[in-house]
Amino acid sequence: MTRAIRIAPSILSADFARLGDEVRAIDAAGCDWIHVDVMDGHFVPNITIGPAVVKALRPHSSKPFDVHLMISPVDQYVKDFADAGADIISFHPEAGPHPHRTVQLIKSLGKQAGVVLNPATPAKMLDYLIDDVDLVLVMSVNPGFGGQSFISSQLRKIEAIRKMIDKTGRDIRLEVDGGITVETAPLAIAAGADTLVAGTATFKGGPDQYAANIHALRGG
């Protein structure tokens, strides 16, 4: 089965002094989603942005905002990001005591819910969540910083999750984030990924290169 590949540039690699311009540029360059990495300096060793920035960016693109919450506790901030304009809200099961409740909360706000698996988090974590989520995000680096190298052991996990998703018969997106380049993108796609988060690989070379970068990541 041939799956259409979505590219979700991570604005973590954008020029933060001109984020609105950068979001408009990747939208015009043909990205599918806008990936927003939210880090709290506690759950992961970095601090990025909060709901106010998401709200400020929302008018700059009509593409889905794919918001990845690397924060703990997570539940108390879900509504803020939903209200700010997130379309997809993903979280780590380690970020709260009741992952299923977090999924329910996200969906109750009319948003799509995603679960994120760190490199050491097994696919089995999804056994009792897979029927309720809209997206599974496999981290192919340890979260917290952009520009890291792809951890190849995650390819086996992507393959395992693809089988789990196909077994459900549901349209669950399988996203991969971390070290995605023109070299690693085909590996992730071959393993079963249908959505690629790419920061450095999208934003390198400046706005004039964004369309070519996105096209190359798609396998063009």
Q: Would you list which residues are annotated within the binding site?
A: 10, 35, 37, 68, 144-147, 177-179, 199-200
Instruction: Give the whole-angstrom CA distance, residue 129 versus residue 175.
Output: 16
**Burial per residue of 128-151, b for 16 or more beta-carbon CB atoms within 10 angstroms, e otherwise:** ebbebbbbbbbbbbebbebeeebb
Which of 186, 180, 154, 172 has its CA nearest to residue 9? 180
37 classed as catalytic: yes
Instruction: Give the whole-angstrom CA distance, residue 137 versus residue 194.
Output: 10
> In a 3-state reduction of DSSP, which class is residue 67?
strand
CB atoms within 10 A of CB 163: 11
Query: Roughly what angle, to the nearest 10 degrees, separates helices 99-108 and 75-84?
Result: 20
Q: Which of 32, 40, 177, 194 is catalytic?
A: 177
Q: Are 57 and 90 in contact (CB under 8 A)?
A: no
Binding-site residue numbers for a divalent metal cation are 35, 37, 68, 177
Segment (H or E) for 138: strand 135-139
Query: Roughly what angle, to the nearest 10 degrees, separates helices 210-217 and 19-28?
Result: 60
Handedness of CA 11, 13, 17, 21 (dihedral sign): negative
87 classed as catalytic: no
Q: Are 67 and 98 in contact (CB under 8 A)?
A: no
Q: Which of 37, 40, 66, 194 is catalytic?
A: 37
Q: Report the first-to-last Cα separation within the chain, whole angstroms.
A: 18
Q: Which residues are catalytic?
A: 37, 177
